[in-house]
A = this chain, B = another copy of it.
């Protein structure tokens, strides 16, 4: 391996280590020392690849945005526009359930870098396209704002335990159906 290749590999290993630590132990477990250690380098090595701990976390957030954008993009399999939209909303909640810390990180800070903004934009474009198929082009933006917000809200309430144990006599899946159903009445 050439020098720049090993450097790139180290960088990938650092991101991977940080991502694993976040998933396993939450934000408090992401320590530059431990990240370096898991990547097989020393505690100071990350500073050769990231200006900051924040910059490393931002990269994790970008990956999360892209991963969610991919998932929304792959709802093309569902038969009807409503079903696709339902699946897209459930993608938010599914990610929040599977990787709660990763999901929380996405929204922990305003998209600070151009790359982060672009990743978020990609998700929003995908979502917007799905919604346009349901409510039509002109109304799509407002419904997109509302449905993404609500999807995020359901995910967040689920994360913080406020939708637990049928306190509301309703499942998250039913909530999503109610939400998508609302688009049929302008």
A110 proximity list for chain B (CB < 8 A): 160-161
A124 proximity list for chain B (CB < 8 A): 162
Q: Judging by beta carbons under 8 Å apart, are B161 and A149 in contact?
A: no
Cα(A59)–Cα(B143), bound, Å: 37
Contact of A145 among B149, B152, B175 (CB under 8 A): B175
Number of interface residues of A (CB under 8 A): 40
Contact of A156 among B120, B146, B152 (CB under 8 A): B152
Known contacts A142-B174, A170-B142, A178-B142; decide if A153 and B149 are in contact (CB<8 Å).
yes
Cα(A110)–Cα(B165), bound, Å: 13
Q: Judging by beta carbons under 8 Å apart, are A145 and B163 in contact?
A: yes
Contact of A179 among B146, B162, B167 (CB under 8 A): B146
Instruction: Report if A75 contacts B (CB, 8 A).
Output: no
A62 proximity list for chain B (CB < 8 A): none
Q: Judging by beta carbons under 8 Å apart, are A178 and B146 in contact?
A: yes
A142 proximity list for chain B (CB < 8 A): 168-170, 174-175, 178
